[in-house]
Amino acid sequence: MIVLDHTLRTVALGSATLGLLAGMLGAFAVLRRQSLLGDAVSHAALPGIVLAFMLTGAKTPLVLMVGAALAGWAASLLVMLIVRTTRVKTDTALGLVLSVFFGGGMVLMSVVQRSAGAGQAGLESFLFGQAAAMLSDDLITMAVLGGVVLLVLTLLWKEFKLLSFDPAFAGALGLPVRVLDVALTTLLVIAIVTGLQTVGVVLMSALIVAPAAAARQWTDRLGVLVLLSGFFGAVSGLAGAVLSSVVPRLPTGPTIILVVTSITVLSLFLAPRRGLLAAEVRRWRQRRELVADHVLADLFRLCSQHDDPTAAPHGTEVLQAMSPRAGVRRSLEHLAQRGLVIAVDGGWTLTADGLTAGHRLVHGGEA
Amino acid sequence: MSHAVSVNDLTVAYRERPVLWDIDLDVPSGKLMAIMGPNGAGKTTLIKAILGLVPTAAGAVEIHGKAYAENRHLVGYVPQRGSVDWDFPTTVLDVVMMGRYGALGWLRRPGRREREQAMSALTKVGMDDFATRQISELSGGQQQRVFLARALVQDAQVYFMDEPFQGVDARTERAIIDLLKELREQGRTVVVVHHDLQTVTEYFDWVTLLNVRRIASGPVDTTFTDENLRLAYGGRVEFLQRQAPADPAPDDDSTAGYGRIRP
């Protein structure tokens, strides 16, 4: 029974927790157009991890996570600093910081590996994650971090909402915008660092952006968005962990990312209102109404030549001749469903409602 | 009686280039004042500097006789409509309630009282039917009304509004100016970044002409003169008066060409 497997339970719970955190904080990052910040922070964490190992010689997750958090945090502050003090724009600053930190991390890593031998190869697992290495202790660390993040998010909810929507107004109200900005970014860094061990620095940004992008498709409320985004993240973590334990040789981190990407793609297509499919259906409906209006107007012109326009059936062929396009017959059936036309003696004529509607189409205004 | 707004020696520089140079400004209480000037004159920056939203190189701001920080609660703000993402997942009512966040303080959430205040402000701007609407469904004029409602719930004594007439239809413009005049009647002070030279005398009783420096400030009758306009707008003023600027871009770093100052 897989549910009883202790390792799997640990990995699944851990992955779900990190998915939850990444999803919730990712929602804010996406709304504040800082999706790339997650990417920069997670890549920037690498030198922190390696440096933490070099300085302490320990491979304890907690130590490495602190190193990752410090480096990620320093990177995000550096981005803010560059944007504020130079002409460099945010996207460029993010790219700059990301590549410099990540490159530095790779260099440090090769230094460690050369000097310390194959024994330290474990650090490499931080590139793409290694969920199987997760221990119960790590789970406790994650739970505590997650609790802190949720608590701060709840306490500062309205401030974070205003900061995300209208920072200038927040500043005018006297809110310490910069402090809040740093606080929210710090929470994001915590969420990212939590996921590094499982998903790795390279793929972590997907877990920040994808659940939020998916959730945005389904709701127009910030509260629902954040919860749904967290839910999508958690489900992805859980599903990824279970899938990779069922299918042999399937790595957990990348599987999680594939699951969350699938959720996002489905959401982009299927969501009501914002989904691509819904938009297509809307367009199709509009076209159908337009064609139907056209046919109705034609029939009105024909019928209104008679004394009683509601008892003057005309054949489908006539209407087809008037608008030589496909769909006249279907339009007539659609109009009949709406009660505007009626089939009489093998032809079509207007109903009383149809007469009014036709008059409005042809002459404008009320009949 | 002290001035509602008192600005002393305010200077804002973007890099080495001054965007605002040594601005002195006194706005008496209960006035409806327009801030006018060509693009890049620093109108938006002036408001933001007064509100402490951009770093200043020098200067001090007083609101009703006290330092800005002390009397911040007397100040209301309507930012440019285009400064926020209107696809943000929230409702009209929610946005209006944000006007109470400052008074609410930390850890307290908006409740029934805030909702009622927001609803009555929405009624005032004729948007009460839209309370539960998603803000992405609003037209430009409706967005502007929502921002005004948010400022109304701030219940401020001094309002700063950045181009509230930008891109709204004639009916909304009428409604907004009526509202501003009502605020003035209640003894409040309203400072508005304005673009349309044609409507200044009709809408406002006080005007500040700005072009990096303060060109002139005072009652519309004596301040809104051809001479001052020429000083603020340069030689283009006749053209401007014939044809009011249609779509002025928001102020940014486009100060080039206007009043480069050599200290």
Q: Verify whether the Cβ–Cβ distance A175 to B101 is below 8 Å.
A: yes
Nearest residue of chain B to residue A87 (CA atoms): B15
Q: How far is B53 from chain A (nearest CA, A)?
A: 6
**Long-range residue pairs from A352-357, CB within 8 A, at least 24 positions apart, any chain:** A352/A310, A354/A296, A354/A299, A354/A300, A354/A310, A355/A300, A355/A303, A355/A309, A355/A310, A357/A296
Question: Between chains, do B79 and A166 touch, taking CB under 8 Å as contact?
Answer: yes
Q: What is the number of other CB atoms lying within 10 angstroms of the CB of residue A116?
A: 14
pLDDT per residue over B114-130, tens digit each?
Answer: 999 999 999 999 999 99
Smallest CA–CA distance from B53 into chain A, residue: A171
DSSP annotation of B121? H
Residue that the structure tokens 């420096």 belong to: B213
pLDDT, tens digit, for every residue of B193-217?
998 888 999 999 999 999 989 988 9
What is the C-alpha to C-alpha distance for residues A227 and A222, in angstroms, rounded to an integer?
9
**Is the torsion defined by CA of B135, B141, B145, B148 positive or negative?**
positive
The two tokens of residue B146 are 């929502």
pLDDT tens digits, A68-87: 999 998 998 899 889 888 88
Q: Give me the sign of the Cα torsion angle A289, A292, A298, A299.
A: negative
Tell me the shortest Cα–Cα distance from B262 to chain A, in angstroms. Answer: 23
Task: Tell me if A162 and B98 make a contact (CB, 8 A cut-off).
Answer: yes
Task: Give the global pTM.
Answer: 0.84
Which of A89, A154, A165, A180 is the best mutation test for B, with the most CBs of B within 10 A? A165
Closest-CA residue of A relative to B147 is A169
pLDDT at site B1: 53
Q: Token digits for A309?
A: 């326009």
User: CB-CB: which of B53, B77, B90 is closest to A222?
Assistant: B90
Q: What pLDDT score was predicted for residue A225?
A: 96
Query: B207 by DSSP, 3-state: which?
Result: strand
A162 touches chain B (CB under 8 A): yes
Q: Which helix (H) or strand (E) holds A362?
A: helix A352-363
Asked if B88's CB is within 8 angstroms of A31's CB, the reply is yes
Contact across the interface for B84 and A165, Cβ inside 8 Å: yes
For the packed helices A6-31 and A252-270, what is the interaxial angle rounded to 10 degrees?
Answer: 50
All residues of chain B having their beta carbon less than 8 Å from the beta carbon of residue A170 are 101
- Please work out, in degrees rounded to the nearest 5, the angle formed at the alpha carbon of residue B211 by the alpha carbons of B207 and B216: 35
Cβ distance of B75 and A159 shorter than 8 Å: no
The model's pLDDT over A134-170, given as tens digits with 9 standing for 90+, comes to: 778 888 888 898 899 999 999 999 999 999 999 999 9
Give the model's pLDDT for residue B262. Answer: 38
Q: How confident is the model at residue B247 (pLDDT cuts 50, 70, 90)?
A: very low
Residue of B nearest to A212 (CA): B89
A159 to chain B, any CB pair closer than 8 A? The answer is yes
| CB pair distance less than 8 Å for A157 and B109 | yes
Structure confidence at residue B231 (pLDDT): 87
- Residue range B248-262, pLDDT digits in tens: 444 444 444 343 333
CB-CB under 8 Å, B136 with A158: no
Give the pLDDT confidence of B145-202 residue by residue, as tens digits: 999 999 999 999 999 999 999 888 888 999 999 999 999 999 999 999 998 888 999 9
Contact B79 A168 (CB under 8 A): yes
Q: Does the pLDDT value for residue A291 go beyond 90?
A: no
Give A200-240 pLDDT, tens digit per residue: 888 898 999 999 999 999 999 999 999 999 999 999 999 99
How far CA A134 is from CA of A20, A174, A202, in Å, comes to 17, 44, 18
What gap in Å lies between CA B46 and CA B28, rounded to an integer?
17
| Closest partner CB to B98 (pick from A31, A169, A220) | A169
Q: What are the tens digits of pLDDT across the range A302-360?
A: 888 887 877 778 888 888 878 776 678 888 888 888 888 888 877 888 888 888 888 88
CB contact under 8 A, B107 and A171: no
